Structure 1
Amino acid sequence: MDDRRTGGQPEPWRCGGLRWAPEGPGWSWWQPGAPGGGGSPGGGARQGGRLVLGERVALAVPQGAERRCAGVWRAGRRLPCPQGELIAPEARREQCAGCAALDRTQSVAADTVPDDPRPYTVYLAWFAPGLTKIGITAAERGPRRLLEQGAVCFTRLGEGPLMSARRAESVLGAALGIPDRVHAPRKRAGRLRLPPREERLRELRAVHTAAHRVPGWRDTLRPAPCAPVDHAALFGLEPRPPRPTAEVTSLPPGCAIRGVLLAAAGGDLYLATGQGELLLDSRLAAGWPLIRPDPADSADPAGPAGRLPPTTAPPPSAPPPESLF
């Protein structure tokens, strides 16, 4: 349960995963059993540990640590997992099945909140040649949703009520032959061989132009001009894209990672380590009571050096798809 204590002391802060702000990514944290249901500002949830390209990243999972479900977030407050469920080290989400199901009962993506009164933006997100998706996000979130997805560049199509935005997403996706989601392996492959910025934006503009030629969807939306935003430099994908030689598959207790942050796109961190370039999916860190490893401290729970986490070789890169337009 989330109100557990160890030796009369509150439980340690746990990693809530990576969160993006316009200036860059940073770790988020939550604390089991904190006052106010675990979600009061400055109490049970906080941002911190901003990640900066070119600076060192060091994290470790203490020996004997357990990875716990983060529960459900509602209006900025964390509702603790009723059972304090354990999460497997290799899981790429911070919730148990029950909390994940509860989360989807108030999910725009799952169409369970059709009466949301906020305005929504319909956007195009570009990941690689021939790999553009269409999506929607609450207008108040600005570009944050695109940063979280690792969109190399994007542009808005229009703005309006949720159901109008959802209809436009469906109509345009079918008319243009573009998906409403792109899976992580395809995004990662696209980052390895990005074309020059002008080529990226030219394809995005072409899709935007084609979208505005599709009839009907603008009846209840305010159309937006093409104003591409490119994230390649912010992510660290230029002038040299990352070339990972291994991908982390889990963060078991007793492991540690140290390296220089080369790039960060969406939830993926690319680190230069003594063993080569490493790709860490930050979702693997969520739910752990992470610590900073200190090689000079023999009392460090991760050990004086901390063993490396298990990894696998990245999939072979396939030739890039052709441009859509």
Structure 2
Amino acid sequence: MKEVVKEMTKRTEQAFVNPGARFGLLYIYVLIVGVIIGLYYVSNLENISRQSVPPVLPDTTVTVTELTVKKAVSVPPVILSEISKPSPNLVSEGEKIYKTNCASCHGDKGAGDGPAATGLNPPPRDFLSKENWVNGTKLSGIYKTLEEGLLPSAMIAYDFLLPEQKFAVAHYIRQTFIPDAEADTEDDLIALDATYNLSAGVQLAAQIPVSSASAIIENESKTKVENIIKLKEKISSLSSEAGYSAFNEVVKNENTALTFLTINNEWKKSEDSFINLLVNNVNQNGFNGSIYNLSSNEWNVLFNFMNKLI
């Protein structure tokens, strides 16, 4: 080591005298620095190549909520001759619905400048302008927009509102914001009724949480399996009867056959119904093609056996 230091000292002294020696000394220094940087890079290679950010960032904006329980609702028919008129009660109800569902985008004054309108393209409808209305400013046109939405824009369908509520919102928008809104003709209202079947009323289906629905399906499936097991045990107990042999000769899949006959119990009405059901669904109902070779007497024996079993 002392020799290296002595040699470098000697070369340094020569560098001040000889320009060529000065370049050679600089080359050595550059080489040493390069080696040091290389060693540092290699020693930290594992840390440098490690990815600290996950390849897929989780979406924290989506919140999955369970459905609530709702009873089935029968909505009474809408009388268009009455609901097409902007009564004070309808307009008042429409104002409440508008402020809850619409003002965030369309604004309190209907100018399309609500807090949620930022960044929307196209921007929300400015109700104060009569230009570029997709479905027009008629009551029927606004109802259609509320019922179907205006995809691909941010205007969704408000089909969760009852017909009367949609009419209420439409009246409020027309009465409060739209200058000189177009009036509907009788034909417009007739066409609206024909399109959405308003005068016939609406039947809203019941709703239950997905977890509850899954539990019901699971229980039903479990019950069906238990019933099939009991039927198979019962078949074994009837092995001495003539129908037992006939059943085993024509059955392809015992579980499928028993399930099929349990679900489709119309065959119990008559032997002809039983024959037609089996013949028209061979290989799908758990029975094989041997049923085509059964005699009238064998059909009768099989029918009585299955009636006794199920």
Q: TM-score, normalised by structure 1?
A: 0.20
Return the structure number with greater relative CO, CA threshold 8 A, min gap 6: 1
User: Whose helix fraction is larger, Structure 1's or Structure 2's?
Assistant: 2
Q: TM-score, normalised by structure 2?
A: 0.21
